[in-house]
Structure 1
Amino acid sequence: MSSNHTQLLERDALGRLVYIDANGHHHVGVHPVRAFPITAHDAGIGIMDQSGKELHWYPDLASIPVAELAMIEEDLAAREFMPVIEKITKVSTFATPSIWDIETDRGSTRIRLKGEEDIRRIAGNTLLIADSNGLQFLIKDSTQLDKVSKKILDRFR
């Protein structure tokens, strides 16, 4: 990072993220968006205004100054709540709708699966499961699940 780097991001008094463009204009309430949030987590982050227009592009995390990266990661963490399913312990029925008891990287929980279409393959063996409340759960690699979890999952795909 060069010593003449001008900070592009700051927080205002209300805690909102503010982007300062090359002309010194302050864009209040911007938000970072990952280009590939699941398949390439560290590649490409755009800074978007409230209408969805890209104001700035970072090609990768390494290109973001440390102070700005901390603000970006804090903002993303608040918006990217996506627990990772590590184990499926039980399902109420092999028909849908069904109730699933699961273990995630954030603890045990119970979700309701409305239909088989709520299980989507993202890339390779990566799956995204949407519960009836609209929460998204990630299975990073379905081949790495335990035997019971794989068997349950296979009944729904």
Structure 2
Amino acid sequence: MTTQFQSLTRNAFGQLDLVDAQGVRHEGVVPVRAHPLSAPDEGIALVGRDGHECLWIERLAALEAAPRALLQEELAAREITPVVQQLVSVSTFSTPSHWHVQTDRGPTDFILKTEEDIRRLPDGRLLITSHHGLHFWVQDRLGLDRHSRRLLERFL
């Protein structure tokens, strides 16, 4: 499938409807990232209710503003990954350790089982996996406050 299509809109039920290049209407399509961690804005499939790919999008940036905004909104609603804004405290500098953090969704606590649960990603991002398997983003570790950076550096 190619990135060519006639329209992408939200229906009365809040679902995405796609009209492909041939004029076929696909109701309730769902965007799925091919590489959600390493290349989140590249390789996105729009999958129909039957589970088949209706459209392949190489890059979100290649789309016009309106469909790109719809897809970004839908992806953000489906992918709930809190972003760590501040490390408030860490119980110990060995693992397992109890972390208290402030995220974009409010304060939370989790246990870091091993240092390997902090995954370094391209462009300086970190993905931290808690003992329950919940993922936390650190979008820019150098952009954190000094106290947070010092705590985090002990584990990197």
Choose 75-84 or 145-154, whichever is displaced more: 145-154
Matched, 1:130 2:129: yes
Rounded Cα–Cα distance in structure 1 between residues aligned with 2:118 and 2:135 = 10
Rounded Cα–Cα distance in structure 1 between residues aligned with 2:48 and 2:76 = 18
State the Cα distance separating 1:52 from its structure 2 match.
Answer: 6.3
Kindly tell me the number of residue pairs found equivalent between the two proteins. 153
Give ranges in structure 1 of 5+ residues lacking alignment: none
Matched, 1:8 2:7: yes
Distance change >3 Å, CA 94–CA 78, structure 1 → 2: same
Rounded Cα–Cα distance in structure 2 between residues aligned with 1:75 and 1:9 = 12
Rounded Cα–Cα distance in structure 2 between residues aligned with 1:114 and 1:50 = 38
Q: Which amino acid aligns with 1:33?
A: V
Alignment partner, residue 106 of structure 1: 105
Choose 93-102 or 11-20, whichever is displaced more: 11-20
State the Cα distance separating 1:64 from its structure 2 match.
Answer: 2.8
The alignment yields a C-alpha RMSD, in angstroms, of 3.1
Three-state SS of the structure 1 residue aligned to 2:131 is coil
Alignment partner, residue 150 of structure 1: 149
State the Cα distance separating 1:40 from its structure 2 match.
Answer: 5.7
Given that 2:85 and 2:102 are in contact with CA atoms closer than 8 Å, whether structure 1 keeps it comes out as: yes
Q: Which amino acid aligns with 2:97?
A: S
TM-score using structure 2 length: 0.72
Alignment partner, residue 87 of structure 1: 86
Q: For each residue in 1:98-157, what CA deviation from the matched residue of structure 2 results, as whole angstroms up to 9, or x when unmatched?
A: 221112233322222222221101125321101233322111232333332233223323
Distance change >3 Å, CA 145–CA 74, structure 1 → 2: closer
Give ranges in structure 2 of 5+ residues lacking alignment: none
Q: Which amino acid aligns with 1:133?
A: H
Q: Identity rate of aligned residues, in percent?
A: 46
Rounded Cα–Cα distance in structure 2 between residues aligned with 1:155 and 1:147 = 13
Alignment partner, residue 139 of structure 2: 140
Rounded Cα–Cα distance in structure 2 between residues aligned with 1:108 and 1:30 = 34
Rounded Cα–Cα distance in structure 2 between residues aligned with 1:64 and 1:137 = 28
Rounded Cα–Cα distance in structure 1 between residues aligned with 2:31 and 2:63 = 12
